[in-house]
Each structure stands twice: as structure tokens, then as C-alpha cells.
Amino acid sequence: MPKLKQDIIVVPVDFSQESQNALTTAVDMTGDASKVRVVHVLPPLEAISPAVVWGDLDDQTRIDAVKKYAAQFLKDHGAASASIEVRVGSPGDEITTFAEEINADLVIVSSHGYHGIKRILLGSVAESVIRHAHCAVLVLRRQDAE
């Protein structure tokens, strides 16, 4: 059986406890946080949002704020040498596109464990990544899942 290559691991984060666990798992697997590529995906801005209309908010402002927050998040969780990519769009699409662009070996994604109507309404980022990723995907189960 071939060994799972772990030279470049992509970890999508939404800064939740579940994504923190995915980050920790990636660092533990590689033994080197510099091999971890963290990605955060922002939803597109609504054109009719007051902040957008008045010019107080744009994608670059949001990206800069997330990068600042992410740097501290990575430092707080033992992954200061990991790189951060912030994108705007559909999370599943952006995560898989990013992983392919950098030729990642593995994506570690956390599952929020939504069921029923909540899953239908919110969709499943983990499922989208599994279906569209060019590389192996490890899905971590919620810590409080039964």
C-alpha cells in the first residue's frame, strides 16, 4: 500500500474549534508547520450592503483583517510558520482550487456535523471538497459528535 504523501497539507479554517483541531492535526502529521497551507474563504460582499454602498468596506479590507487575525490564530495554536491564503467565493470551490494550484498532497477539513434541514440549507463544505479535490482528503469528525 502506498504511503500517504504529506509534503503540503491544506487546512481550511473558519476559526472554529473544529478547524483548530484540523490545524493541530496537520502540524502533528507533518511535524513542521511550514508545510501547512491554511486557507480561509470569505463570502462575497452583497452589493446592496450599506457598508459597500458607502464605500466603507471592500474585499481587500476584509482580506487584510482576516490575515491579521489569522496570523495571531496560527501563532496561538503552534503554527506560526504556516502560510495563510484568504479568498473570496464559494468555500468548497475555493479550497479545492487552492489545493490544486499549490499541488497539495492532502486536505484536512473539519466537519461541523450538520444534519437534516440545516445541512441542506448550509451545504457541506467537507462534502464538496471530497468530491472535487485532486488529492487525498481527511475529514475530521466533530469532537462532540455521537
CATH of the domain at 67: 3.40.50.620
pTM, full prediction: 0.84
State the DSSP string of 14-50: -SSHHHHHHHHHHHHHHS-GGGEEEEEEEPPPPTT-H
Q: How many helices (H) and strands (E) does the chain have?
A: 6, 5
Q: Does a structural domain hold residue 145? A: no
Give the per-residue pLDDT at 81.
96
Structural domain range at position 95: 9-115+128-140
Q: What is the pLDDT of residue 37?
A: 98
Q: Residue 112's pLDDT band (boundaries 50, 70, 90)? A: low
Instruction: Examine residue 109 and state whether it is found in any structural domain, yes or no.
Output: yes
- Tens of pLDDT, residue by residue over 24-51, are 999 999 999 999 999 999 998 876 665 5
